[in-house]
């Protein structure tokens, strides 16, 4: 195990290990379960839990412990200054640099997708979009993954009101075709739209999740002559998914599988 610096207070690390053992999937834990999740002995887990209970951060309910609302105080100041575009910016920059392409973050607003963050390609010739740009959701990869996250009643309401038009010869021409594309995006977890909005332009998008909720979509805009469609799933999609995961994590949706350091104490 890597040696910690002299100032390092191990009891602080252990206390956070105990708090992080509680997840959305396991909100109520016994002492033994906390010990296993925090990688410590049962006796140590019990002492930390009782101390945290005295401080008001956990409460006991029979053999179970659970977090209290006071835990929200730890992150309140940080979260108060965080916006989704602000959280996403550094990840979009890294993705744009890795792919040498334009990257964006979009949300669904009525029938449209709206760009809320955008990092242009490092190349001189790049796709020209800016924050606030709107496109019909049905015609974009971002829109299709966001529509795929809607409930069936919400999606049906969208289908009942959507107005399709031919931007190019490749644009979808019917609601049935659109439903099939949205169903495919839901099943795969990503969407690719090629030259349906503009000739020579291909978009690839994946959802950004905060916990179980889809809060946005991350997109890469590609010129068709630079990125063959058949290679995108191997070359672009893994990086795009990783960026979306990191944005979601930083926005407050970190999953319980986050790595912990250290060994049994």
The enclosing H or E element of 134 equals strand 134-136
* 219 beta partners: 104, 205
How high is the pLDDT of residue 40? 95
How high is the pLDDT of residue 54? 95
- CATH code of 10-76, in short, is 1.10.10.10
Does residue 35 contact residue 41 with C-beta atoms inside 8 Å? yes
Q: Rounded to whole angstroms, how far apart are CA atoms 142 and 149? A: 11
How high is the pLDDT of residue 130? 76
Q: Rounded to whole angstroms, how far apart are CA atoms 165 and 162? A: 10
Chain CA centroid to CA 8, Å: 32
Q: Rounded to whole angstroms, how far apart are CA atoms 159 and 176? A: 9
How high is the pLDDT of residue 227? 65
Select from 236, 243, 234 the least CA-distant residue to 221.
236
When computed from its CA atoms, the radius of gyration of the chain, rounded to whole angstroms, is 23
How high is the pLDDT of residue 46? 96
How high is the pLDDT of residue 12? 95
Structural domain boundaries of the chain?
10-76, 84-253
The enclosing H or E element of 213 equals strand 213-223
Instruction: List, run by run, the mean pLDDT of 10-residue segments along the chain (265 residues).
Output: 81 95 92 96 96 96 94 72 81 89 90 88 62 88 94 91 87 90 93 84 90 90 74 86 90 48 34
The answer to whether 10-76 and 84-253 have equal CATH topology is no
Provide the H-helix boundaries in the chain: 10-20, 31-38, 42-55, 72-80, 84-99, 141-147, 152-161, 175-188, 229-235, 237-248
Query: What pTM value is reported for the model?
Result: 0.65
How high is the pLDDT of residue 140? 92
What is the domain class of 84-253 according to CATH?
Answer: alpha beta
């Amino acid at each position: 195990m890597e040696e910690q610096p002299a100032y390092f207070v191990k009891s602080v690390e252990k206390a956070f290990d105990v708090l992080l053992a509680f997840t959305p999937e396991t909100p109520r834990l016994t002492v033994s379960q906390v010990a296993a999740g925090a990688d410590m002995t049962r006796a140590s887990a019990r002492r930390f839990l009782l101390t945290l209970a005295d401080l008001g951060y956990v409460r006991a309910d029979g053999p179970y412990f659970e977090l209290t609302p006071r835990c929200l105080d730890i992150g309140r100041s940080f979260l108060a200054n965080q916006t989704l575009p602000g959280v996403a910016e550094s990840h979009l920059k890294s993705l744009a640099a890795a792919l040498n392409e334009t990257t964006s973050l979009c949300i669904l607003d009525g029938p449209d997708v709206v760009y809320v963050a955008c990092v242009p390609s490092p190349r001189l010739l790049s796709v020209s979009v800016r924050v606030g740009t709107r496109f019909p959701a049905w015609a974009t990869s971002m829109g299709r993954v966001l529509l795929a996250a809607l409930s069936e009643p919400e999606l049906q309401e969208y289908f009942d009101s959507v107005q399709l038009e031919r931007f190019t010869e490749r644009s979808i021409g019917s609601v049935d075709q659109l439903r099939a594309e949205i169903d495919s995006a839901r099943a795969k977890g990503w969407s690719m739209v090629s030259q349906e909005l503009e000739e020579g332009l291909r978009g690839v998008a994946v959802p950004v999740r905060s916990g179980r909720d889809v809060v946005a979509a991350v997109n890469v805009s590609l010129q068709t002559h630079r990125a063959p469609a058949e290679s995108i799933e191997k070359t672009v999609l893994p990086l795009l998914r990783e960026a979306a995961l990191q944005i979601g994590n930083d926005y407050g949706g970190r999953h319980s599988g986050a790595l912990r350091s250290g060994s049994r104490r």
